[in-house]
Amino acid sequence: MTNSKNIESASITSGIADLAKKIAGRTATVGVIGMGYVGVPTMMAVAEAGFHVMGIDTSLDRVQSINAGLSYIEDVKNPSLEPLVSQGLISASTDYALVRGLDVILVCVPTPITKFKEPDLGPMQVAVSGLAKNLGDQQLIVFQSTTFPGSTEEFVLPQLEALGNKAGRDFYLAFALERIDPGNQQYLVRDLPKVVGGITPACTEIASAFFSSFVDSVIPVSSPKVAEMTKLLENTFRSVNIALVNELSVLCRRMNIDIWEVVDAASTKPFGFMPFYPGPGVGGHCIPVDPFYLSWKAKEYDFYVNFIQLAAETNDNMPYYTLSRIGAILNDHGLPLKGTKILVLGITFKANVNDTRN
């Protein structure tokens, strides 16, 4: 008599082997949900590796732009995008039903915060709902959106398994953090080590195999939580150190010390120091947002990350401090703040980007 568990095991082995073969042969079809500053460069990197890529987004304008070979992402130039569209390697749609025919799905939707500094999982919920309704067999699903530790296992997994599908058997689920740095032409998608944590060892293995096809270095970790926490550690590290130098800049102002000269001098130390520079606050998609995902989740464990919260408060106060300094400087010149025309050179969160959000 044939053992049903053996049949099931053989079926799983066969399913993941077929998927691995498709990935190795570049015949796997890849979907990218969310065509923003992470999704579009990811589509480019995957297509340049030889895969056919379908972008899925709720914005019809974005879809039409990509299908016309026109990039709205500064780091992706039209001369690079257009040939891939013409060759049929990149296309886009608003139809989540197309997910059924894909082999690999990468989720790159935004994960913002509310005005109360709490996670806004709306975009992620739309993506998960669309996946759950259109889940195919033996698909690899990888979330790349930065979020709190436990999101993949506690928020995503239950919804994908709600209709009886099982991760590691019917589909493969993992989290792989993104490290795209807008405006940075030195480190592109291929150059950024990819940390991958799957729900099961098989999930980690097949996700690592996929990313290895277009990323130079892949680092498997023991779970999605580890990968999720890794991204939050990276960005919280920056937030805390930016807050430190922002606070010191205020102190140095009172002490009549040039903080820029101090940082430059400290940077001559060949070990144990990394320079951070003061500014009117923090901006971008990550630093003003990600630490709040961690502090929110920490409360579930009756843990209050006071250090992180203090850094956020310091950085959030810098725009007000900057305004007070402008007022003081104008006053020194006998000018009122109201009615005075002020020229601002550079309004994005850093140089060489055109995104004015955050």
Divide the 358 residues of the chain into consecutive groups of 10 and give the mean pLDDT of each group: 43 80 98 96 98 97 98 95 98 96 97 93 96 96 97 98 96 97 91 97 98 98 98 96 97 98 98 96 88 95 93 94 94 93 88 78
What DSSP line would sit under 296-313, residue for residue? HHHGGGT---HHHHHHHH
Choose among 288, 238, 236, 239: nearest CA to 111.
288
d(CA 274, CA 272): 7
pLDDT for the residue numbered 12? 52
249: exposed, middle or buried (Cβ count in 10 Å: 0-12, 13-18, 19+): buried
Catalytic residues: 286
Contact 107, 146 (CB under 8 A): no
Contact 195, 177 (CB under 8 A): yes
- pTM exceeds cut of 0.75: yes
At 36, is the secondary structure helix, strand, or coil?
coil
- 232-332 shares the fold of 4-222: yes
164: exposed, middle or buried (Cβ count in 10 Å: 0-12, 13-18, 19+): exposed
| Six token digits for residue 203 | 């999930």
Strand partners, 91: 54
Strand partners, 171: 139, 167
Instruction: Among 3.40.50.300, 3.40.50.720, 3.40.605.10, 3.40.630.30, name the CATH number for the domain at 232-332.
Output: 3.40.50.720
Collect all residues with Cβ–Cβ distance below 8 Å to 294 and sequence separation of at least 6.
Answer: 148, 149, 232, 236, 305, 308
d(CA 240, CA 243): 5
Choose among 237, 246, 248, 247: nearest CA to 287.
237
d(CA 109, CA 141): 13
Residue that has been written with the tokens 């569209």 in this structure: 85
Find the DSSP H helices in the chain: 4-24, 39-48, 60-67, 78-86, 122-133, 157-160, 201-211, 224-255, 259-266, 290-298, 306-332
Contact 54, 69 (CB under 8 A): no
Domain boundaries, the chain: 4-222, 232-332
pLDDT for the residue numbered 349? 85
At 287, is the secondary structure helix, strand, or coil?
coil
> 32: part of which helix (H) or strand (E)?
strand 29-33
- Number of residues that this document lists for the chain: 358
CATH architecture designation of domain 4-222: 3-Layer(aba) Sandwich (3.40)
| Six token digits for residue 138 | 């033996």
Contact 349, 283 (CB under 8 A): yes
pLDDT for the residue numbered 7? 38
